[in-house]
Amino acid sequence: MKNVIEINHLTKTYGNARGITDISFNVEEGEIFGFIGPNGAGKSTTIRTLLSLIYPTSGSAKIFGKDCIEFAPEIKKEIGYLPSEVFYYDNMRVMELLKYSASFYKKDCTKRIKELAEIMDLDLTKKIDDLSLGNKKKVGIVQGLLHEPKLIILDEPTSGLDPLMQQRFFELLEAEHKKGATVLFSSHILTEVQRLCDRVAIIKEGEIVAVEKISTLQENNYKKFKIHTKAALDDNYFNLAGVSNLVVNKDTVSFLFRGNLNSVMKKISDVEIANVWIDEPDLEEIFMHYYVKEA
């Protein structure tokens, strides 16, 4: 598989403040790739570096095999970008603004602008000034997709959209993906990542903590245990290798487990059990495990 994005040891500091530290991951051609992490983790910093809107302190990145800073103008013609916050000259009308954006590319995008506006239910004749936040976001979406880019980079694309529009937007992305586009998409909303993406990179405090297939995260790795014992247990009784999110409340213990199930089953069989539940965790619980700050 060809890599559309290759990020190599990218670091960005803002003065003394951390931005991102030694970030590396690849996005393959034709993937929908999720970039997930809590607020302030460094998603926007990574994306803005890829687009050469800011420069890295060290490390590098390639898009379509070319250095993203050296070849920025050339690369950008093939990228559709939706920033997390959109700002516009308020006096323009929507169509004027979109035509202006389209003039950057060497093709006529008028037909596509109209199609996209129809799908996203956007009135092209309105003044930007008169649009709600959600409608401004739609302008950003149309602006990002009007030139049918090979690579679509979206920073928190759904914030401000109502559920119906989020749904339309996801369908639109899936259609672009079917036509061959590669998508990198940042979010802190786990369910949308779960639904759309093939793989995810999880970022926490400026560092990548995992790059995994969604299917791997969901299927085989973790089991969720809840155990009700007849007598209260020592808090550390289930503190084994492979256990995370351990919560002990007198005679009730819950945790996530990844590893050889026999080791947990042996520990369980050594105490008097009142009840036991073993479930598949949802993605949120798996991600929470990555999110938890180290002491």
Ligand X SMILES: Nc1ncnc2c1ncn2[C@@H]1O[C@H](COP(=O)(O)OP(=O)(O)OP(=O)(O)O)[C@@H](O)[C@H]1O
Give the footprint of ligand X on this chain (CB under 6 A): 14, 17-19, 37, 39-45, 84, 188
Q: Between 49 and 229, whose beta carbon lies closer to ligand X?
A: 49
Q: Between 8 and 84, whose beta carbon lies closer to ligand X?
A: 84
d(CA 68, CA 78): 12
Choose among 283, 35, 294: nearest CA to 183: 35
Q: How far is the CB of 182 from ligand X (least distance, A)?
A: 20
Per the document, the length of the chain is 295
Q: How far is the CB of 262 from ligand X (least distance, A)?
A: 39
- Going by their DSSP bridges, the two strands 223-229 and 252-257 should be labelled as antiparallel
Q: Between 101 and 166, whose beta carbon lies closer to ligand X?
A: 166
d(CA 10, CA 229): 48
Cβ count near 148 (within 10 Å): 16
Q: Between 206 and 281, whose beta carbon lies closer to ligand X?
A: 206
Q: How far is the CB of 202 from ligand X (least distance, A)?
A: 11
Q: How far is the CB of 40 from ligand X (least distance, A)?
A: 4
Q: Between 137 and 147, whose beta carbon lies closer to ligand X?
A: 137
Q: How far is the CB of 188 from ligand X (least distance, A)?
A: 6
CB contact burial 23-37 (16+ within 10 A = b; e otherwise): bebbbeeebbbbbbb
Choose among 265, 260, 262, 256: nearest CA to 288: 256
Beta bridge partners of 79: 151
